[in-house]
Amino acid sequence: MNDTILSVENLHVRYGKVEALHGVSIAVPAGAIVTVIGPNGAGKTTLLSAIMGLLPSQGTIHFAGETITVPDVEYLVQRGMALVPEKRELFGEMSVEDNLILGAFQRYRKGDRSISETLDEVYQLFPRLKERRTQMAATLSGGERQMLAVGRALMGKPKLLMLDEPSLGLAPLIIREIFRTIARLREQGVSILLVEQNARAALQVADIGYVLETGEVTLAGPAERLANNPQVIETYLGMSKRQEKLAAVSA
């Protein structure tokens, strides 16, 4: 547990002249759920994209015992990193099952032929996907698309799963299902880096939390402690009585 699967130190990312991340440092212990919360435009998506090598960045990244000098998406996928991006990036005109199978492309390439077993596991996790296996991904409902995006990432048997707002636009019932799945994945030994707007649910499931504001980490610590931090409560957990009741029911 005290092994660190991912550590990012002093990461800077700029879009043209504007710097979006000003020296962000975070660490994900192996087997833990780490969440990054923060307001819109804080740079959460930027952080995940830079770690994955989708954006050029400056700083130090260690992943699975290796120093990554120039992050390269294909290489990182091969080493066991997976990202479920904010836009999901599904293969819309291909079937649900083809989407899932493609999630295992790197494994297949390395000669791993146990893909159908992983497919069964993913179908067990998301029975809804099995019912819709021949349907085109573009015609799925929002919740089903989310499940497919997560399932597709799991097909690669990642060591580290990065999720960018998995609860985006979903009904409370499905959000609960997704968070339960995330907790279950930790039991299976997958480390998770979770970016969320839904701070309450995220801090509940996570072991460690970071608060990212305008490109800087402003707070960090055990998730429980963050959830009780007055500042966090006021900005991120403060909600109306009605919402609080709803959250209590779903918890």
Partner 1 sequence: MDWSIALILTQDGVVNAAIYALLALALVLVFAVTRIIFIPQGEYVSYGALTLAMLELGKTPATVWLLVAGGAAALALEAFAHFRGRSVPWREALFWYAALPLITLLLTYALEWQTAPQWARMLLTIALIAAMGPITYRIFYQPIAEAPVLVLLIVSVAVHLALVGLGLLLFGAEGYRTEPLWDERFSVGPLLIPGQAFWVIGASLALIALLAWFFSRTLYGKALRATAVNRNGARLMGISPNLAGRLTLLLSAAIGAISGVLVSPITTLYYDSGFLIGLKGFVAAIIGGLASYPIAALGALIVGLIEAFGSFWASAYKEVIVFTLIIPVLFWRSLTTHHVEEE
Whether the Cβ atoms of residue 214 and residue 43 lie closer than 8 Å to each other:
yes
Task: Work out which of 13, 26, 90, 211 binds partner 1, going by CB under 8 A.
Answer: 90
Tokens 């998301």 correspond to what residue? 126
User: Can residue 82 be called a binding residue for partner 1 (CB under 8 A)?
Assistant: yes
* In the complex, least distance from residue 87 CB atom to partner 1, rounded to whole angstroms: 8
Task: Work out which of 7, 78, 181, 235 binds partner 1, going by CB under 8 A.
Answer: 78
User: Can residue 83 be called a binding residue for partner 1 (CB under 8 A)?
Assistant: yes
Look at residues 2, 52, 47 and name the one whose alpha carbon lies nearest to residue 28.
Answer: 2
Beta carbon nearer to Mg ion, 44 or 132: 44
User: Can residue 108 be called a binding residue for partner 1 (CB under 8 A)?
Assistant: yes
Task: Work out which of 30, 102, 219, 247 binds partner 1, going by CB under 8 A.
Answer: 102
The enclosing H or E element of 12 equals strand 4-15
> How many CB atoms lie under 10 A from the CB of residue 72?
13
Whether the Cβ atoms of residue 109 and residue 77 lie closer than 8 Å to each other:
no
Q: Say what angle helices 96-103 and 115-125 make with each other, to 10 degrees.
A: 120
Pattern 17-56, Mg ion, x by CB under 5 A:
----------------------------x-----------
Q: Name the amino acid, one letter, at 202.
A: A
229 to each of 148, 160, 193, 206, how far by Cα in Å? Answer: 35, 28, 21, 15
Q: Name the amino acid, one letter, at 137.
A: A
Beta carbon nearer to ligand ATP, 174 or 212: 212
User: Can residue 43 be called a binding residue for ligand ATP (CB under 6 A)?
Assistant: yes
Task: Work out which of 20, 76, 182, 206 binds ligand ATP, going by CB under 6 A.
Answer: 20
Task: For Cα atoms 33, 212, 208, give the angle at the middle one, nearest 5 degrees.
Answer: 25
Beta carbon nearer to ligand ATP, 64 or 85: 85
Look at residues 135, 124, 59 and name the one whose alpha carbon lies nearest to residue 95.
Answer: 135
User: Can residue 154 be called a binding residue for ligand ATP (CB under 6 A)?
Assistant: no
Residue 244 interface partner, choices ligand ATP, Mg ion, partner 1, none, CB cut-off 5-8 Å depending on type: none
Q: How many residues does the chain have?
A: 251
Which part of the chain contacts Mg ion (CB under 5 A), choosing from 58-66, 80-88, 152-160, 168-176?
Answer: 80-88
Interacting residue ranges for Mg ion, rule: CB under 5 A: 45, 86
Q: Which residues bind ligand ATP (CB under 6 A)?
A: 15, 20, 38, 40-46, 86, 197
